[in-house]
Structure 1
Amino acid sequence: MPENRKVPRRIARTVLNSLKGGVVPRIGLPYVTVGRKNEIQALLHDVDIISEGGASFRFIVGRYGSGKSFLIQTIRNYVMDRGFIVADADLSPERRLQGTRGQGLATYRELIGNLSTKTRPEGGALTLVLDRWISTVQMQAAQESGLMPGDPGLTKAVDRKIFEVTAQLSELVHGFEFATLLSRYYHAYVQGDDQTKMKVIRWFRGEYSLKREAKEELGVNIIITDDDWYDYLKLFAVFFRLAGYAGMMIMIDELVNIYKIPNSITRQYNYEKMLTMYNDTLQGKARYLGIIMGATPQAVEDRRRGVYSYEALRSRLAEGKFSRPGTRDLLAPVIRLDPLNAEEMLVLCGKLAAMHADLYDYEKQVSDEDLAVFVQLEFSRIGADANITPREVIRDFIELLDLLYQNPELDIRSLLESEDFSYAKSEAVSDQKTDAYAEFTL
């Protein structure tokens, strides 16, 4: 991005508000992306494999606030620009990979609800994708046959092309029912039957709870359940490719919510589902599908409750003997994020200062020397080498910019060098240690 290119005000406001609130913005990430070049290149290498019919599975591991979710959202934007459909979800006590009360199905529903494309990046793109697919097939059939819309012969030609797609899906697990519903959606689209279209969408979203209801309304004797929801994501990935997209990328963050499950058997069932997904992608049982999961180091490496407590996963994912901080194997299944260094944070703060000045229409008053003093102070606090994260630094810096904007009489150097600032930072580091201890001794 050129240095002199201004960030649109709507995007700047969203980015600054999100970062100050400690969350990752959905838009505007290219304007503030710093570092992570090697990690992004490694993940984009997977994208090439997926678009050629392969599959991939990656864990992105980093401490809270280390930029893990930021990297996931950055990749999300990259792959949408490359013609992928993206589905993302955060795990929670109500959303897991497997559960006794439908938590796995809840994750599936969240993923399908968040289906996004380049033209519909905010989610809810399923109906758009289906309608676009049908329109594309109709156009192709018209061009190949030379027939005009309304001609009965054109309808038959479109039927044949729809069958070609559904026939390829019928060979997969649950593919026959999936293909049947695609065909039903097509005919409802042609006939203007919006009620049937919505019933099919409801089925695809996993909202039917009774087989009898699905049978009566749609003629299929099967529904998506907590046990088999992942099979339907594999079907969607192949269908999206046939519908003209490059592939499908699934992003599941907050894996720590599996780590927190108190019941060991329930945790093991979730890790078993994770193993199935991992094996499918590496063994060629999934096509045009990428999976990225975000986790904290404890959620992965803890031998008692983490991913590594499941031996089949630990033996596949454990880091080799030669990787170390600063020299990581980024082609391995697990990408461990090293902290951003002071130079990278300096560049990021410079970007934020320029964005803030443009948004509120004032002459940028924070000099490069001021930025250097701020970053140096942040990185020189007691315990900063082990506890400081981009989230805390960014939040502090945006707050500083807001204060200076609202109080023009304040001087940045006097704020940075004040005893109150030093005391607050010491307290923040202490609180981080306490929070970390409490979080992972539950």
Structure 2
Amino acid sequence: MPESQNIEWKQGWRDEYLKWICGFANAKGGKIYIGKDDKGNVVGLEDYKRLMDDIPNKITSGLGLVCDVNLHQEASKYYIEIEVHPHDVPISFHGKYHFRSGSTKQELQGVALNEFLLRKSGKTWDDVTEPSASLDDIDEKAVEAFKKGAVKSGRLPQVENENDILQIFENLRLTKDGKLKRSAVLLFGKDPRNFYINAYVKIGKFGKSDDDLLSQEVIECNAFELANQTLEILDKKYFTKSISYDGLHRVETTEYPYEAIRETLLNAIVHRQYMGAPIQISLYDDKIMVWNFGTLLEPMTFEDLKHKHASHPRNPILADVFFKGGLIESWGRGTLKIIDECHAAGLPTPEISEMTGGIVVTIYKDIYNEKHLASLNLNERQLKAVLYVKEKKSISNSIYQDLCDVSKATASRDLTELTEKHMLLKRTGEVGAGTVYKLIGS
């Protein structure tokens, strides 16, 4: 039984372990074993009788909890099991709140503490009323844009003939007792930054390093218009386009798939913590990075995002209005759509990871163009083979031999370099005659 999200081993008892019990109670519960080393081996307790009296009393007096405290014996050695159940109400220890995340305990502070207390009370940040806001702060044009999207998507057709904004907001759960919620101000406000200073998007174009800032931009508007306005600026000022012709028709292809960038922005808007930093978009020669403040909510993992998964939006009211307004297609498919759009455009699989208290989505450009490949010092055979794979989707050792008129040994050496040194291709299929090579991310 390894130490994990729900298991903690301690060789002896210290009163500071009440923090761990507090953390388990605020998360999913768990068990603490007293009398085991860090590998889970029983080392035994000399004072187990006293501890069996002291520990329950300390838990009750220090945390206000009742836990199951059990004595066990293994090979004449005694150890204590403390079983902590999850609690719906927040539990504090000496006025501080602790939380079990993964195999570590953290003390909740600032934005994280605020969000934790809200969720324990059955609310989310976007569900709280904004007492100083009124309909005078609402942009009617944004509401009209929402109505058109809701009718077009077929998700709220009855809104077409409703002209009373307050009634529309009540139907969307954007009000409580006649007061606007934070979600209403964010979604449709004339200037949400009057209320939430970090509710904007920041764009930065960088050179060869993060110290080399070439240009920057700030986009300030309500959440319902934010993704489209940001995309418009990216498209006009930052994205380059390649030109080709289909017969007499001119075809422009952007360096990043439009829908992947749009979905990434919508995800950032819905899932960010609004009391933290703004959404930040960093553009480099080979990639674009979209960062938003706030980590994944339990029990989601980054691996879950690569597959079909249940939706856990940090701001469910924002997500619901986005869905009804036709901005997002369905809950829980955003990351899959980003990945699919990149693959369809021939780009590598985007990376989704945690960075400096937030989540960053990194989308890479087409690294399989001749200009970039020429910078990698590939030999002519390898360059020819990569472009072949880009067109034909895969290549085998035997096809490489025929394509480049080389021996099997030379083909194997070239292909190994392309997979292990240059990371341009990946091996798939069975070892031997069944092995084929494909583009990374395909």
Higher strand content, 1 or 2:
2
TM-score bracket for this pair, using the shorter chain length: under 0.3
Higher helix content, 1 or 2:
1
Determine which structure has more spread, i.e. the larger CA radius of gyration.
2
State TM-score, norm by structure 1: 0.25
State TM-score, norm by structure 2: 0.25
